[in-house]
Amino acid sequence: LPYKKRETDEHMRAIAEEVFASETKGEGVRDEISMFEEQDDCPILKQEMAYHLHTEEDTEKRWVLVLLDTPTYLEVPDFQRVAIIGDYASGVTMDDFELSCKGVYRALTIREKYMRLAYQRFPLTTSQYLRDIEGEPFKPEHSVQPVFTSPPKEGEDPFNTKCLPENLSWVARMKDGVIYVYKDAAKADQHKPIENMPTPHYETFIDDMNFLIALIAQGPTKTYSHRRLKFLMSKFNVHEMLNEMEEMKELKLNPHRDFYNCRKVDTHIHAAACMNQKHLLRFIKKSYRVDADRVVQNIKGKDELFANLNLHPYDLTVDSLDVHAGRQTFQRFDKFNAKYNPVGASELRDLYMKTENHIDGEYFARIIKEVASDLEDARYQYAEPRLSIYGCNPNEWTKLSGWFNKHRVFSPQLKWMIQVPRIYDIFRGRNFVPHFGKMLENIFLPIFQATIEPHTNPELSIFLKHVTGFDSVDDESKHSGHMFCTKSPKPEEWDIVKNPSYTYYIYYMYANITMINQLRKARGMNTFQFRPHCGEAGAVTHLLASFMTADNISHGLNLKKSPVLQYLYFLAQIPIAMSPLSNNSLFLEYAKNPILEFLKKGLIVSLSTDDPMQFHYTKEPLMEEYAIAAQVFKLSTCDMCEISRNSVLQSGLSDEEKTHFLGADYLKEGPEGNDIRKTNVAQIRMAYRYETLCYELNLIKEGLKTD
């Protein structure tokens, strides 16, 4: 029962508040860790051996690193391994080492707990080490997997409502911002939810969060994490030097598969900007030619619409369209958002990029289907577009799914995500919602209802089959000033115009997704993943909240600022969809993007486009993203194929598709989970990654042995 209540640790809360206060000022933590900023690529031996006799005299606390027996896999060719020999203490004192290991261990168990609760993923290897540390046997049934809908079989209609499960008479109702499921209304009145659907415990969550806030600010753990990350970097550099040619040899001998025909998923892309600027331009011109007189707005024809805007579509160019992010958008998220309006006119956005308008979002559906058809032509490429649910009113889901079904916006190349903008303050300011709880209810209650009674809203039920997860979006650099703690008002009490904090949003989204997933799992339906935008800007605590709640994240740039979180993201192998071209226009120059560093250290990065309309020039935005990264960072083919493989793993592609694209054993970790014939990732690389993760986890195990 890992989610039972625990004593609130007052000391930790105090530390957490202190850290939070310093973050609000935008200083503190950053300064404190600035000593870690300088690059230093000294070869490992030098770096690690320098400390190797450090604790020689201190016999009581001295420990010897038991070198892992390097496993031998049948299929991995011989390669040169980097081994550290001799007494070893990772450059920190024994006390600090043990302290760090304890903290890191607890952090990992926290994530493991919340992932399992929500049917999200946690690596088997890490779980096995955690059980090992606890002296418990590892039970494979403890590991959970999300459920995604398989693509329709040949001749099967993805919009067919016949296969929906029957309606139940259960009742879903919100309490304290979280929706519970009850047998009937009476049980709901007594708040006696259906059993076997455990909720995340609010106070435990805050305790866990406070513990983590304290941990990432803790000096010894920062030093330890920083050193480990530097080691990972140097180790990869040595690995690359020694084995690059061997890895390439594997790929050359791998028949039939190369970077072009290994599957890749655009893991982060907004539907409203999923076409490139040239495509949108062509579409506007074509739609004008083909049906100029059609009534597209309330009163006026399109002719009038363009006349009002004082422009003729024939004259329109990419320049006058003005949707591309230029130098003007750097560090200006506000200007960037304005770029969503073609020719600066929200009317055109409404006409072409909205699901709700006087043509029922027909153009938007058509343009998305054109993008999907381009992906089908390119083959091997998939995308996970985000559609918005705002939580402004409870009909949004019905309208969105109506659009989806009416225009049959389905393609095997697309896996749908729902993005929820964090703009409660705007809705409250305009009196659209009375409190934050109502917004949450508008977002989540319709899903519960459609899950309990699928036949009552068949269009929504069908749409939900094709939705794979939730995203949380907005400018992270805006700071709410609120700190999430036990004293925070409950969502139903949050009726001020101010926005709650990022963490508050994240917690309540996570809690409701957890409940939905348990309900849907029980009904044999697909589940949803939580995949928020996180660490693009703003406080590092965002990354902490996602560490606790998210299956995987988008951006993650700010992991650069917290060595502890970065090390934890590595140990928990949390996928990160990175978009260096988007960052280049908004927050960080291309060459400074940490994606190369993260990749080398073994974090699970994928490449994504974010907004092709704003950032990309060519017909194949995802290939443009890969090509530029390959050129600027001099990625090897193996690197690129590893990133592609990561993107498939991170994505909401179904088990069936992943099996097809990655191999039958894709759920296994290390080289035995890799089918080089499908992924074109060298087994040497897989073995390196696996052994490296085991080595780091083993260190933690060793650090906890002395207890």
Q: Catalytic amino acids? A: 555
Please say which residue, 64 or 253, places its beta carbon nearer to its own copies: 253
According to DSSP, the β-strands at 576-578 and 553-555 are: parallel
Minimum Å distance from CB 631 to its own copies?
6
CB 685 within 8 A of CB 77: no
CB neighbour list of residue 690: distance below 8 Å, 6 or more residues apart: 125, 669, 670, 671
Helix ranges (DSSP H) in 182-218: 185-189, 202-217
Please say which residue, 6 or 592, places its beta carbon nearer to its own copies: 592
Minimum Å distance from CB 646 to its own copies?
18
CB 353 within 8 A of CB 283: no
The DSSP bridge partners found for residue 471 are 419
Minimum Å distance from CB 277 to its own copies?
9
Minimum Å distance from CB 314 to its own copies?
7
Token digits for 156?
């099967």
Please say which residue, 150 or 260, places its beta carbon nearer to its own copies: 260
**533-534 β-sheet, strand order:** 533-534, 553-555, 576-578, 605-607
Please say which residue, 496 or 627, places its beta carbon nearer to its own copies: 627
Return the residue matching tokens 């969060």.
Answer: 209
The CA distances from residue 185 to 182, 193, 225, in Å, are 7, 10, 51
The DSSP bridge partners found for residue 45 are none
Minimum Å distance from CB 142 to its own copies?
39
Please say which residue, 41 or 57, places its beta carbon nearer to its own copies: 41
Q: How far apart are CA 542 and CA 14, in angstroms?
A: 19
Phi first, then psi: what are they for 385, rounded to 5°? -70, 145
Helix, coil or strand: residue 453: coil
Minimum Å distance from CB 619 to its own copies?
7
- Picking from 597, 451, 603, 594, the residue whose alpha carbon sits closest to that of residue 527 is 451
Q: How far apart are CA 265 and CA 382, in angstroms?
A: 5
Angle of CA points 450, 120, 536, to nearest 5°: 100
Please say which residue, 352 or 508, places its beta carbon nearer to its own copies: 352
Minimum Å distance from CB 343 to its own copies?
9
Please say which residue, 327 or 487, places its beta carbon nearer to its own copies: 327
Q: How far apart are CA 225 and CA 91, in angstroms?
A: 11
Minimum Å distance from CB 260 to its own copies?
5
Q: How far apart are CA 560 and CA 563, in angstroms?
A: 7
Return the residue matching tokens 């260096």.
Answer: 580
**Binding-site ranges for its own copies (CB under 8 A):** 244, 248, 251-260, 278, 281, 314-320, 322, 326-327, 581, 584, 590-591, 616-620, 623-624, 626-628, 630-632, 634, 636-637, 680
Q: State CA 473 to chain mean position distance.
A: 11
Please say which residue, 431 or 631, places its beta carbon nearer to its own copies: 631
